[in-house]
């Protein structure tokens, strides 16, 4: 597969561009010169997850930094929440169900997966983790929801995935005018609470762990990082509480 532009650019993420190849296929091309083994491992995880009943785009080909896969066409769950905020509880329960499907994928036969920092082993549970499973990575297609962006897959306790989603959903910056941003934050909080009710329970240890893990993300906005550092500091106090969202 050549480095030439293969089609129309339809999406650009932090590390990869997505091109429309036609016939219901897209090409996901990484820009950071990652090795082919790592890209191949991601494609294999997607294939195994799909075979286990997780709604994942079908992978057709892998070559170097490129993955050719089925196009997941439709609005994201985030877009749907913006247009239909009254569905917040239903969307949160759906996201919890998608977590369950991911965590039920057998680990046998998967490529060697990274483990969570500080995780001690199967005593806490051992499952496939997506690590970035939030409303922007769920596409509502004509055939149902589909989970995208599997580059961060790892293994560890399923509750860690729940905690990471909670901190992403509950505390990400809302780039909107002040009045609309306030309304969006209210929706964020409602979604986070509903999601934890369906996917949890989530104790303070995991909430605090998720906050600290999120703070290692180099793509955090300064305002997001400041808010999370404040939460982490409050949680470290004897009577600290990082549970609000």
- Check: CB of residue 118 under 8 Å from CB of residue 147: no
What does the pLDDT average to over 188-209? 94
- For the beta carbon of residue 184, count every other beta carbon within 10 angstroms: 18
Indicate the range of 9-13, 49-53, 121-125 predicted with least confidence: 121-125
**Helices and strands counted in the chain (H then E):** 7, 9
215 secondary structure, DSSP code: T
Q: Which of the following CATH numbers is that of domain 77-235: 3.40.50.300, 1.10.490.20, 1.10.510.10, 3.40.50.620?
A: 1.10.510.10
Structure tokens, 139: 């596409």
CATH code assigned to 8-70: 3.30.200.20
In degrees and rounded to multiples of 5, residue 149 shows phi and psi of 65, 75
Query: What pLDDT, on a 0 to 100 scale, did the predictor assign at position 1?
Result: 46
Spans of all domains in the chain: 8-70, 77-235
What does the pLDDT average to over 25-51? 91
Structure tokens, 96: 């919890």
Fold matches, 8-70 and 77-235:
no
Strands 16-22 and 8-12: antiparallel
Place of tokens 């990652």: 34
pLDDT tens, 133-175?
999 999 999 999 999 999 999 999 999 999 999 999 999 887 6
User: What is the distance between the alpha carbons of residues 18 and 67, in angstroms, rounded to a whole number?
Assistant: 10
Alpha helix (H) ranges present in 172-221?
A: 178-199, 204-214
Query: What pLDDT, on a 0 to 100 scale, did the predictor assign at position 2?
Result: 46
């Amino acid at each position: 597969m050549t480095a030439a532009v293969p089609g129309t650019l339809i999406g650009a993420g932090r590390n990869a561009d997505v091109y429309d190849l036609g016939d219901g296929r897209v090409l996901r091309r990484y820009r950071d010169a990652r090795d082919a083994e790592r890209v191949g491992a991601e494609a294999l995880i997607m294939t195994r997850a799909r075979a286990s009943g997780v709604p994942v785009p079908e992978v057709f080909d892998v070559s170097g930094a490129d993955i050719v896969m089925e196009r997941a066409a439709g609005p994201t769950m985030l877009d749907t929440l913006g247009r239909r905020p009254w569905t917040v509880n239903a969307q949160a329960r759906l996201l919890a169900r998608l977590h369950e499907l991911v965590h039920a994928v057998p680990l046998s036969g998967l490529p060697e997966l990274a483990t969570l920092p500080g995780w001690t082993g199967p005593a806490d549970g051992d499952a496939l983790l997506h690590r970035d499973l939030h409303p922007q990575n769920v596409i509502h297609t004509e055939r149902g929801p589909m989970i995208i962006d599997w580059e961060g897959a790892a293994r560890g306790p399923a509750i860690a995935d729940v905690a990471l989603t909670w901190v992403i959903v509950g505390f990400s910056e809302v780039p909107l005018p002040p009045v609309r941003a306030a309304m969006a934050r209210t929706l964020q909080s409602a979604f986070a609470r509903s999601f934890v009710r369906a996917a949890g329970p989530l104790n303070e240890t995991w909430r605090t762990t998720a906050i600290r893990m999120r703070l290692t993300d180099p793509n955090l906005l300064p305002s997001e990082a400041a808010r999370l550092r404040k939460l982490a500091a409050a949680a470290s106090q004897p009577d600290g509480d990082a549970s609000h969202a």
